[in-house]
Chain A
Amino acid sequence: MRIYSLSIGLFIVICGLAAVSLLIGPADISISQALFALLRGEGDVFVIVMREIRLPRVMLSVLIGFALGISGAAMQGFLRNPLAEPGVVGISASAALGAVIALQTGFAIEGSQLLGALNKGRIAPVFALPIAAMIGALLAAGLILLFGHSGKTERLILIGIGISSIAGAFMSLVLNLSPNPFAAMEIMFWMMGSVADRSMLHVWMASPFIIIGSTILIILGRKLDALSLGEDTAQSLGVNMKAMSAMLIISIALIIGASVAVAGAIGFVGLVVPHMLRPVIGSKPSTLLFASGLGGAALLTSADILTRVIAPERDLKLGVLTALIGAPVFLHLVLKSSKRG
């Protein structure tokens, strides 16, 4: 029962935050103007601002927050490791590397080139960027879940640091070698993430993959519950570990690849949210997954509001705020686990 009331509570919080987020922006638009423009399409330029700029921003912060929250909870459940999270273990950085390589080799296109392709009725180029990021995420998730699955907590983190460093170095290399002077300056976006100035196209680009991946994770919830009793017990309860690992890796890659392709690598959301929710609803993965998704959506939408309150005229990166909240929690968890070890 507690999970239902928590979910309803979080849903109401997300709606409230989304409304606040829709009303905050550099353009001076009153609440009534914003509502008329958004809901009834009245007010020319206000309609463009509300529907084409602010709405996709809010939708992405909710969607990507959900994606990060649920994938963090799934990884912690599967690896039975409190420090597991796509950002910490390098899956997000690898996804960003995949996206950067795709953009700089011309496999994926953005901006006016993409609009040109869409005008000619070509839909496929829209998905090239998330698919490239998913391939990057898949490689890292595979490595992490294969090598970080057994052994101590620290081993997983060290493998994650290795993967993050390699992905970060290659990303810098690719961006530095780019013939586009603006691309070279964008390492901050790929490392820290942002949902500013994205369009509905980016929402359509990411949402199918995030929805499919999250659905698979929720279906896997019961099996993750069995796994929390130990691998042998799970197998005796009929869980096929290999099939489950493969499904989990694919869903995490779908979710993180799609998120990073449109908003860069935003860290720590998947780490912090499940830890905040466990004292309230317990640590059963099947209940924690959906709730962590909602918690992630609320956290990321709040962070996105804060970026505009703290620095209204600057494009303050979302990952800066999530790291300010998440990094101390991470440090606390590392110290706690090393004491126990």
Chain B
Amino acid sequence: MLISKKIGACIAPLLSVSIVFAEPPKRVVSVNLCTDQLAMTVSSPEQLISVSYLSRDPMSSAMWEEAQNYNINHGQIEELVLLEPDLVLAHEWTSPLLLSMLERFDIPYVQFSSANALDEVSPLILQMGAALGQDNRAANIVENFENRKTELLAQVNRQSHSPRIAAYGPNGWVGGATTLDADILAKSGFENISSEFGLDDGGFMPLEALVIANPDVVLTSTPWPKSSRGESLLAHPALAAVVDHTVEQPKSDASWDCGTPEILTALSQMVELSKQFAEGHR
């Protein structure tokens, strides 16, 4: 409880922007995959009337099973108007056109930012709690989340030589240092090779640069249905030859993409791998 109070105090200025209701909203619609999952975690069952269609997709959403209980929307203004929401949950990346249409129809909305670090998850949960009038419920979730996170991070055994990791996505995309992915890797005790290549802001790393860098772990992605050339790069024989003496670890977009309590699945996966290196099993 102490932890959540501290975080609550830190984000008080942020919350003052979001709190616009005297009483909790009763017809809440979410139009973004990440706000969907935060809302499903924090809201009371009858409060949330629709989530985005992506939240039902097992490839994208860690809460796809729970999302089957909600109506879905495609983030189109016509749908939203007909749902008669008293609050729309949007993301910082939600189309400005949609937001301006919401303003024209006098539909209130709250925007949430992305979590770019593990420490940014709890403030988002609390912001969602405040927007939905579910502060106590959000505070409880944050407390459990922080306890579990602390427990996981305590298992990380820092070594003199941290295992070097490359998070290598389709088309050779490497995320930057200021992303949630990078924070999870760093906190689990890995040294991210993206900084060796000056890719602190993210970028494309040519396959041959990755081969020369020779990391201990290559974190790839789970393939989507059907083929794409971008993903076929991850099955290139050159990568397979590197992986012969490294560890290939596929990551699922569903557990990694959003700053929700589900991010602990990703953290625990990486902490487990880090422990294996520390114990000399890898």
A residues apposed to B, CB below 8 Å: 25-29, 45-46, 48-49, 52-54, 103-104, 106, 108-115, 178-183, 185-186, 189, 197, 199-201, 313-315
Docked complex Cα distance between A181 and B221 (Å): 13
* Sampled A-B contacts (7; CB under 8 Å): A48-B241, A52-B238, A114-B232, A186-B230, A189-B229, A200-B237, A315-B204
Report whether A27 and B228 are in contact in the complex, using a CB–CB cutoff of 8 Å.
no
| B side interface size, CB within 8 A | 31
Per a CB cutoff under 8 Å, which of B204, B208, B234, B238 touches A314? B204
Interface positions, chain B 196-239, Cβ under 8 Å from A, are 203-204, 206-209, 211-212, 214, 223-238
Instruction: Provide the bound-state CA to CA distance between A45 and B211, in Å.
Output: 6
Q: CB of B240 within 8 A of chain A? A: yes
- Residue in B212, B226, B237 whose beta carbon sits within 8 Å of that of A103 in the complex: B226
Q: Nearest-CB distance from A47 to chain B (Å)?
A: 9
Q: Does B242 touch A at the CB level, under 8 Å?
A: yes
Residues of A within 8 A of B234 (CB): 111-112
Which secondary structure dominates where chain B touches chain A?
Answer: helix
Q: Find chain B residues with CB under 8 A from A315 CB.
A: 171, 204
Cα–Cα, bound, A181→B227 (Å):
10
Q: How far is the CB of A107 from chain B (nearest CB, A)?
A: 10
Flag whether B170 is at the interface (Cβ < 8 A).
Answer: yes
In the complex the two chains form, what is the Cα distance from A53 to B238 in whole Å?
7
CB of A6 to closest CB in B, whole Å: 35
Q: A45 contacts B225, CB within 8 Å?
A: no
Is A109 touching B227 in the complex (CB atoms < 8 A)? yes
Q: A111-B235, A112-B223 are known contacts. Are A53 and B229 too (CB-CB below 8 A)?
A: no
Distance between Cα atoms of A268 and B95 in the complex (Å): 39
Given known A-B contacts A53-B238, A110-B232, A180 and B225 have beta carbons under 8 A apart: yes
A252 to B229, CA, bound (A): 25
Which residues of B233-259 have CB atoms within 8 Å of chain A's CB atoms? 233-238, 240-242
Most buried by A among B204, B234, B238: B238
Q: What is the minimal beta-carbon distance from A341 to any residue of chain B, in angstroms?
A: 42
Kindly list chain A residues whose C-beta atoms are within 8 Å of the C-beta of B172: 197
Given contacts A26-B206, A103-B227, A111-B223, is CB(A197)–CB(B236) below 8 Å?
yes
Known: A27-B212, A54-B208. A48 touches B228 (CB 8 A): no
> Considering residues A54, A179, A199, which has the most beta carbons from chain B within 10 angstroms of its beta carbon?
A199
Q: Are A199 and B206 in contact (CB under 8 A)?
A: no
The 9 closest A-B pairs by CB, nearest first: A111-B232, A182-B228, A52-B238, A111-B235, A182-B230, A183-B228, A112-B235, A26-B206, A27-B208
Name the distance in Å between A172's Cβ and chain B's nearest Cβ. 15
Q: In this complex, what residue of B is CB-closest to A46?
A: B212
Since A45-B214, A53-B211, A108-B227 are in contact, a sample of 19 more A-B pairs with Cβ atoms closer than 8 Å, ordered by chain A residue number, is A25-B206, A26-B209, A48-B241, A49-B212, A49-B238, A52-B236, A103-B227, A109-B227, A110-B229, A112-B223, A180-B225, A180-B226, A182-B230, A183-B228, A183-B229, A186-B228, A189-B229, A197-B206, A199-B236
Given contacts A201-B237, A313-B206, contact A27 B211 (CB under 8 A): yes
Chain B's nearest CB lies how many Å from the CB of A10?
A: 29
- Known A26-B208, A27-B212; judge A106-B235 contact (CB<8 A): no
Q: Which of A27, A179, A201 has the most CB of B within 10 A?
A: A27
Residue of B nearest to A308 (CB): B206
Q: For the complex, what is the distance from the CA of A46 to the CA of B212, rounded to whole Å? A: 7
Contact A45 B224 (CB under 8 A): no
Contact flag A313-B203 (CB < 8 Å), given A110-B227, A111-B234, A178-B226: yes
Query: B212 — which chain A residues lie within 8 A by C-beta?
Result: 27-29, 45-46, 49
- B211 touching A180, Cβ below 8 Å: no
Q: Which residues of A sit under 8 angstroms from B227, Cβ to Cβ? A: 103-104, 108-111, 113, 180, 183
List B contacts of A104 (CB < 8 A).
226-227
Q: Which residues of the other chain, A, contact B237 by a CB distance below 8 angstroms?
A: 52, 199-201
Inter-chain contacts of A185 with B (CB < 8 A): 230
Report whether B240 and A53 are in contact in the complex, using a CB–CB cutoff of 8 Å.
Answer: no
Contact, CB under 8 Å: B230 / A25: no
- Known contacts A106-B226, A115-B240, A182-B230, A48 near B235 by CB under 8 Å: no
Supposing A201-B237, A313-B206 touch, asked if A49 and B228 sit within 8 A by C-beta, the answer is: no
Give the docked Cα–Cα distance between A29 and B209 (Å): 10
Chain B residues closer than 8 Å to A113, beta-carbon distance: 223, 227
Bound-state CA distance A186–B228 (Å) is 8
Question: Once the chains bind, are B209 and A115 in contact (CB under 8 Å)?
Answer: no
CB of B224 within 8 A of CB of A179, answer yes
Q: Which residues of B contact A112 (CB under 8 A)?
A: 223, 231-232, 234-235
Residues of B within 8 A of A109 (CB): 227
Q: Are A27 and B209 in contact (CB under 8 A)?
A: yes
* Interchain CA distance A106-B214 in the complex, whole Å: 33
Q: Which of B204, B232, B237 has the most CB of A within 10 A?
A: B232
- Minimum Cβ distance to chain B for residue A191 (Å): 13
In angstroms, Cα B206 to Cα A179, docked, is 26
Cα–Cα, bound, A103→B224 (Å): 13
Q: Which residues of A contact B232 (CB under 8 A)?
A: 110-112, 114
Closest chain A residue to B224, Cβ basis:
A180
Residues from chain A with a CB closer than 8 A to the CB of B241 are 48, 52
Most buried by A among B207, B211, B228, B237: B228
Taking each of B208, B212, B224, which has the highest tally of chain A beta carbons within 10 Å of its own beta carbon?
B208
Please name all residues of chain A whose beta carbon is closer than 8 Å to the beta carbon of B231 when the two chains form the complex: 111-112, 180, 182
**Distance from B199 Cβ to chain A, minimum over Cβ atoms (Å):** 10
